[in-house]
Amino acid sequence: EPEVTQTPSHQVTQMGQEVILRCVPISNHLYFYWYRQILGQKVEFLVSFYNNEISEKSEIFDDQFSVERPDGSNFTLKIRSTKLEDSAMYFCASRAQGGGYTFGSGTRLTVV
Amino acid sequence: AQKVTQAQTEISVVEKEDVTLDCVYETRDTTYYLFWYKQPPSGELVFLIRRNSFDEQNEISGRYSWNFQKSTSSFNFTITASQVVDSAVYFCALSHNQGGKLIFGQGTELSVKP
């Protein structure tokens, strides 16, 4: 069964550093998403991406965040200058036209 | 505004008991989709079910069943004869269209003890 692949599974970074979280969506999917889950809390929507542009973003997704689909297969989330409160599990998801979501297994980001 | 409420933060049951996880949602849309996801201790999100607002039929899949009641804006999830492997956090979610952003509830942590 096709999977959404996220790397790395766990990343530790120092406060103020830039971090890039990588995702490989399912190959025929057209819609891509990032969600965040702070430890012990609910899953929160960050951003959706379609046709090479952001289609919707939440208020969490401020100027420190950006997304890119650099090469037609990867979908990345960049955090420019990480803060302690960015520590969370980040989930990538993708879906086909008219299809349901498939989530990756997540990247646990720890900012120290 | 759209909102999902899972009032039960934690539930603890003994193996073989039946357990129902509650989900109440708010939306002004006439077309919407409801979801349940399981998050085991390993952390991934496992899709369980998607239901659209026009289909109020209850669904059963093995030991799992779902009761969708538009009149009370609820989409409850029942596990029959619970097992230790059912221990996880369960999230209910809502989207205003089939591919729109998912709005998650706070989750219910289910602990099934042997």
Q: Go through chain A and tell me how many residues it has.
A: 112
Amino acid A1: pLDDT? 77
Structure confidence at residue B3 (pLDDT): 95
Determine, for residues B99 and A95 on separate chains, whether the beta-carbon distance falls below 8 Å.
yes
Out of B99, B105, B106, the one facing A31 most closely (by C-beta) is B99
What is the predicted pLDDT for the residue at B97? Answer: 73
Any A CB within 8 A of B90 CB: no
Of A44, A81, A72, the C-alpha closest to A59 is A44
Beta-carbon separation of B101 and A42 below 8 A: no
How close B102 comes to chain A (CA, Å)? 7
Which residue, A5, A12, A2, is CA-closest to A108? A12
Instruction: State whether A35 and B98 contact (CB < 8 Å).
Output: no
Reported residue count of chain B is 114
**How many percent of chain A have pLDDT more than 70?**
100
**pLDDT tier at B12 (50, 70, 90 boundaries)?**
very high
A103 touches chain B (CB under 8 A): yes
Tell me what pLDDT residue B81 has: 97
Whether B101 sits inside 8 A of A98 (CB atoms) is no
Q: What is the mean pLDDT of chain A?
A: 94
3-state secondary structure of A62: coil
- Are the Cβ atoms of A48 and B101 closer than 8 angstroms? yes
Q: What is the pLDDT of residues B20-51, one digit of tens each?
A: 999 999 999 989 999 999 999 999 999 999 99
Say which DSSP state B70 is in.
G
CB contact under 8 A, A58 and B107: no
E-strand spans in A3-98? 5-7, 10-13, 19-24, 31-37, 43-50, 53-57, 65-68, 75-79, 88-95
> How distant, in Å, are the alpha carbons of A7, A13, A30, A36, B76 from that of A26?
14, 28, 9, 20, 30
Instruction: Write out pLDDT tens, residues A49-101.
Output: 998 899 999 999 999 999 999 887 899 999 999 999 999 999 999 988 877 88
DSSP state for residue A85 in the 8-state scheme: G
The residue in chain A having the minimum alpha-carbon distance to the alpha carbon of residue B107 is A42
Is residue B90 within 8 Å of residue B110, measured between CB atoms? yes
For residue A105, give the chain B residue with the closest CA: B44
- The C-alpha torsion from B15 through B64 and B66 to B48, rounded to 10°, is 110
- pLDDT tens digits, B79-100: 999 999 999 999 999 998 766 8
